[in-house]
Amino acid sequence: MEQKNMNWMKTIGSAILGFGLITSVFASTGPEPFYGVHQSGISTPAQLNTYFIAFDVTTTKKEDLVKLLKDWSDAAVDMMAQPEQFDKNADPTKIPRKSGASVGLSNAALSITFGFGATLFEKDGVDRFGLAKKRPEALVNVPVFTGDQLVPERTGGDLSLQASANDPQVVEYVVRRLAKLANGVAVMKWAQPGFNGAFKAGETGRNQMGFKDGTLNIPTKDVKLMDKHIWVGNEGPSWMQGGSYMVIRPIRISLDHWDDMNLAFQEETVGRHKSSGAPIGKQKEMEELGLKRTDAKGKPVINEYSHSAISSPENNEGTQILRRAFAYDNGITKVNERWPPWRQLTTFDAGLLFMCYQKDPRTGFIKLFSKMAQIDMLNQFTTHTGSALFAVPHGATKGHYIGQDLFED
Amino acid sequence: MSKTANRSIARTSPKSFWIALFGLLTATGPVIAEEGFLETITRNQFLAPTTLDNGDGNPYAVLVAPVSVGDIEKDDVLVDNFNNISNLQGTGTTIIRYRPGTKETKQFAKVSQQLKECPGGVGLTTAMTMLKTGWIIVGSLPSKDGTTRTKGDGCLLVFDAKGNHVATWAGPNINGPWGNMATIDKGDKATLFISMAGFGVPSFDVIDPQTGYPVIVNKATVLRLELNIPNGKPPVIEKETVIASGFSQRADISNFLFGPTGLALAPDDTLYVTDGLDNEITAIEHASTRTDSAGKGRLITKDGLLAWPLAMLRTEAGHLIVANGKNGQFVEVDPKEGKQLYGYWANANQAQSPPGNGNLFGIAWGPDRKSIYFVADDINALWTATP
């Protein structure tokens, strides 16, 4: 990324909904490597589709858990390396190992990312797998934020996996194949598919609210910035060095309500112009916010409680996270709105599958969102319905499985 | 601004005040005759969220602690919640405590939503007061599904100054204690005035075919409770008197119900009542001594800037400040003259229509009586309107 853009990113880089951040949805179809210092799906350019799923481990045997991670790693290697193919030597009397659902499709820049929740280390006071002492300090219990309306069915989990690719059928197939491998070891707890619009590469796309939105807020090729803000370093345990911490939160957006707001109010809420993406009162998307600007009456040009202002690093001591979010739409659902007039209605169950990575959630998302949860103007259109934090260990090397040094050190 | 300037403005144009929560709107106001309280108010400031980990929301009552006792320090602000985490009205069970000095917010009290002694359960309302002896009395108008379809009669709950629930008052005169209380507190004796908005209110889907709205009933009352407060023991009711009755009520899918809400007592023993549905303020004479109902009382003012008036305060100059439910305005009224003086946008949030609709409810004087605490139901927060 050019220096010019990097400077700009530092200015506006921490928003939750990411309005105005530069987009990086790439229509790449090439294979992503499974092996490497970092797991795939973190610094990988965001694809068009994702499928996130969390599991609760049911086995009490460490060896079962290890075998699952080995199986998952092997299957991930297989699926990420090449397009799916039928087994020409399949025994017709046996259940096929592969369903064939993605045969004929490329693997569409597939990335697969695995994580460990705090409850894997200790659950209800029980150290099931001898991991309690290895729980990193940064793998905290995420606090309940103002306005959170979390439901257990979309919160927490012992294990996480996320498949992302530029094809919805590929990610669904991958998750189903990996979930099958967990039979008898773990049960599915919650899941959420997501998507991104296929906007032109290098052009800022728009979110469901009609505003320019993006997915990358730190240039992932900037090693220094990534090391500073995203990758766990020497401060963490060895199995996490090169890894990161993922916060994931499904955020339902009252899109129907939002669509009824006049344009000026929408822009005031976001702090940016809808068409251009420029900060209020400015012409170009890439211009700095200029939060100190005031009008003739001394009123801030950008509302001090707007999403852009409240989330800006200059109001948050420079906090930065790597945002890697997708939109979601689960059709319709019955909702009791959490603001006047307290409507009880059937509306779209749609919004943002917020995901972000950081070196330490205590100085990343938690710090950033504690304030935003209280007074961000967008909060009157958004409801956080789920929440989870996962330690995403470093990537595997050939012959090893994900998280191996957590279990074998 | 000087009085001279006011008079000049009064002759030429409506008074303007700058705003507000989300967006800038201009206050509306009729001709101004003299300086009032709202003219001194210039800005609104966010103080703290009012939600807790249990997810309760829709803050209703606001009160400022008159004394330091138990877990409460003088000038702490108590706020209760009408909704639970499912956003259902009539299910909130928590009272939060905001400490201005430290800006700390924490749960002060919580009670079971299924409390058997309270008919229908618990949904805490704007009826809340704190006595000098430290007892906190708060109303409950409960529901199971967030509407009046499952409304219970409710009750009054008594908490000690550590937030422990110590007594429940229910009975035939108590049905939907709703609006902000007026209180005469003499230490070992106290008199409470409470609007009762629940009598006979049916489900929101019982529609009057002539209006197309839920049917209106006229059974709401103002109840006077005379309390005895034994040393160190919770207050007990010595006498109950219905001093006003016949106020309009109706169910509402958005606002739960309409009924008499705000109460303010003047030194001449006149109790002023806001009547949300009829959009008026009335006066009940001899409020602390009368032995019968005054009906709805004497009309002071109606319509104009009023828009579903809810909680009410009385200024030292004898004016009334009401919080509008239908928009986000405070309205100042001179009850002696029966004049509406100002409208001030405390909450101009355009996410509701009209702006601020449904966002205001409880209000309370700041400790210096130069500012007003108010709740913002749209974002579940405590705010203050200050000079």
The per-residue DSSP string of B364-378 comes to EE-TTSSSEEEEETT
Q: How far apart are CA B290 and CA B211, in angstroms?
A: 36
Question: How buried is B296 (Cβ within 10 angstroms: 0-12 exposed, 13-18 middle, 19+ buried)?
Answer: buried
* Domain range enclosing B343: 3-386
Q: What is the pLDDT of residue A82?
A: 87
Residue with tokens 């001709």: B31
Report the CATH number that the domain containing residue B168 is assigned in CATH.
2.120.10.30
CA B319 – CA B313 distance, rounded (Å): 8
Q: Which of A146, A265, A340 faces B378 most closely, judged by CB atoms? A: A340
DSSP B234-245: --EEEEEEEEEE
Confidence category of residue B240, pLDDT binned at 50, 70, 90: very high
A95 found inside a domain:
no
Task: Determine, yes or no, domain membership for A201.
Answer: yes
Candidates A144, A265, A339, A384: best to mutate against B (most CBs of B within 10 A) is A339
Taking contacts as CB-CB distances below 8 angstroms, the residues of chain A near B147 are: 344
The count of domains in chain B is 1
Note whether B347 contacts A: Cβ–Cβ < 8 A. Answer: no
With contact defined as beta carbons under 8 Å apart, do A57 and A128 qualify? yes
In a domain, A88, yes or no: no
Asked if A340 lies within 8 A of B352 by C-beta distance, the reply is: yes
In chain B, residues 56-75 whose CB comes closer than 8 Å to chain A? 57-58
Q: What is the DSSP letter of A396?
A: B
Distance, CA of A219 to CA of A225 (rounded, Å):
8
Q: Which domain holds residue A272?
A: 2-81+101-407
Residue with tokens 């025994």: A91
Closest residue to B357, CB basis, from A144, A297, A340:
A340
> pLDDT tens digits, residue range B107-117?
999 999 999 99
CB pair distance less than 8 Å for A297 and B18: yes
Q: What residues contact A370, with CB distance under 8 A and at least 6 apart?
A: A143, A145
Per-residue pLDDT tens over the stretch B116-132: 999 999 999 999 999 99
Q: Is B219 left (phi over 0), alpha (psi -120 to 50) or beta?
A: alpha
Helix (H, G, I), strand (E, B) or coil at A333: strand
Q: Which candidate, A340, A387, A142, A371, places its Cα nearest to that of B380?
A: A340
- Structure token digits, residue A323: 């945002």
CA dist., res. A218 & res. A18, Å (int): 12
Nearest to A342 among B48, B51, B254 (CB): B254
Task: Give the pLDDT band (50/70/90) at residue A315.
Answer: confident
CB A200 within 8 A of CB A50: no
For residue range A198-230, list pLDDT tens digits in order.
988 777 889 999 998 753 478 888 999 999 999
Q: Which residues contact A265 (CB under 8 A, 6 or more apart)?
A: B22, B23, B350, B351
Mean pLDDT of B321-345: 97
Task: Tell whether A48 is covered by a domain.
Answer: yes
Chain A partners within 8 Å of B253 (Cβ): 341, 343-344
Residues A361 and A349: their CA atoms lie apart, in Å, by 27
Q: Is B87 on the interface with A (CB under 8 A)?
A: yes
| Tens-place pLDDT, residues B340-366 | 999 999 999 999 999 999 999 999 999
pLDDT of B33 strictly over 70: no
Predicted pLDDT of residue A214 = 58
Compute the count of residue pairs across chains A and B with CB atoms less than 8 Å apart: 89
Residue A91 lies in a domain: no
Whether B81 has its CB under 8 Å from any CB of chain A: the answer is: no
Please name the residue of chain A whose CA is at the shortest distance from the CA of residue B83: A338
State the best of A145, A146, A337 to mutate against chain B, taking most chain B CBs within 10 Å: A146
Our CA dihedral for A150, A153, A159, A163, rounded to 10 degrees, sits at -100
Q: Tell me the per-residue pLDDT of B47-106, one tens digit each, with 9 for 90 and over.
A: 999 998 899 999 999 999 999 999 999 999 999 999 999 999 999 999 999 999 999 999
Which residue from A339, A342, A344 is spatially nearest to A380, judged by alpha carbons? A339
Whether B248 has its CB under 8 Å from any CB of chain A: the answer is no
Domain for residue A386, yes or no? yes
Give pTM, 2 decimals. Answer: 0.88
Query: How many CA atoms, within 13 angstroms, populate the side-chain half-sphere of residue B8?
Result: 5
Into how many domains does chain A fold?
Answer: 1
CA–CA distance from A131 to each of A30, B9, B261 (Å)?
Answer: 37, 74, 58
CB B357 within 8 A of CB B328: yes
Amino acid occupying residue A28 = S
Q: With contact defined as beta carbons under 8 Å apart, do B109 and B71 qualify?
A: no
Is A272:A280 a contact under the CB 8 Å cutoff? yes
Q: What is the pLDDT of residue A204?
A: 80
CA distance B335 to B320: 7
